[in-house]
Structure 1
Amino acid sequence: MHRAPRKKRRWPKILGFTLLGVVILGILAVVFSVQLNNGLRSATGKDTPVDTAVKSQLVRGIEAKKTGDASHDALIDKAAETLQQTPMKTITEAAGNQQKAAELVSQTTGVPEASAQVVTQAIFNDSKFDGVRKAMANGDWVQVYQQGKTLSSDPDIQALTRLVQ
C-alpha cells in the first residue's frame, strides 16, 4: 500500500526564525541604546523620548526639594523649567566642553560669565566630576545615574549640597 507524502509543516520554522530575529533586534537595541539615542538626537536635532524621560526624572528630583518657602520654591520652579526648556544636545555638549558649560551656566542662571567660568573651571579640574561629565557628554544616562550616586555619597559634595539648599 502506498502512502501519501506527509505535508511539511513550515510555520514552526517561520515562527522560530521570526522570534529569533525579534530577540536579536531586542538585544542589539539594548546593547546599542546609547548610540541609537544619540543618533536619533543628532538626526532630528530635538530631544528623544529617552531624553524627555531623563529630564522628567530630574525635574521630579528637583521639585522634591521644595520646602514650602515661597522664595525657595520659586527658585526650584525656575530650575525645573529651565531644565525642561534646555535641549539635551546643549547639555551634552556643555558636559564635554568647559567654554560651552560656562556659557550654559551663565545663560540659564543669569550669573555673570566670569562667575560661570570659575564654577565650570572647578568642575572640569576636579577629577571627582570626570566620570559623570564624560557619561553625560556621551549621553549615557545609566552611567550618569550611577556616577551621581557615587558623587552623592562624597562628604565634600554633601557639604556643598547643604550649603546650596
Structure 2
Amino acid sequence: MGPVPVHLVLMGISGSGKTVLAERLAAHLGRPYAEADEFHPAANIAKMSAGIPLTDEDRWPWLESMRGWMDQEANAAGTVSTCSALKRTYRDLLRGAAGRVVFLHVLAEPAVITERMEARTDHFMPASLLPSQMAAFEVLAEDEDGWVLENSGSVDELVERALAVVAGL
C-alpha cells in the first residue's frame, strides 16, 4: 500500500489570503490545485453577487463537488485547495475525501480583509457579505486536523510558515 494522499484545504473567510497562499503552496509542492469558487453552481454565484448570503442547503452540493475533486485528483502527494469551510459540518463533509484532509486556517484582521474585499474588482462576492461569513465561522476544534496561519507580514513569510506546517505532517 502506497502513501496516503494529504489534501491541504486553505480555509477562512473571503479575503483572508487563501488563494494567494494556496497557489504558491501548490506550485512549490507540485500538487493539483483548485479554487473552491470554481465549483459554485451559477445559482450560488447569482445569490452572492446580489448580496444574499448562502444557506447550508446552497453549500452542500458545492462542498460535495469539492470533495469529489479531491477524490478524483488524489495521488501519492494529495492536493491543495481553497474553501471557506466556515462550519465544522462543512469540514466534516470535506474530511470524507480519500486520504488525509488537513485544514490550514488563514487568519487575517477584519479591517485588512474588508480593505482587500473593497479593492477587488474581479470577484463576485461583495464586502457586504463579510459580516454573514464572520457570524457563521466556527474556529477549528482541538480534535480537527488543522493549523491556524496568521496572515501577517509578507506573502513569502506566510508561505514559509505554511511550508513548515506541511513539512511536519
Greater length-normalized contact order (CA 8 Å, ≥ 6 residues apart): 2
Same fold (TM over 0.5): no
- Structure with bigger helix share is 1
- Structure with bigger strand share is 2
Question: Computing the radius of gyration over CA atoms, which structure comes out larger, 1 or 2?
Answer: 1
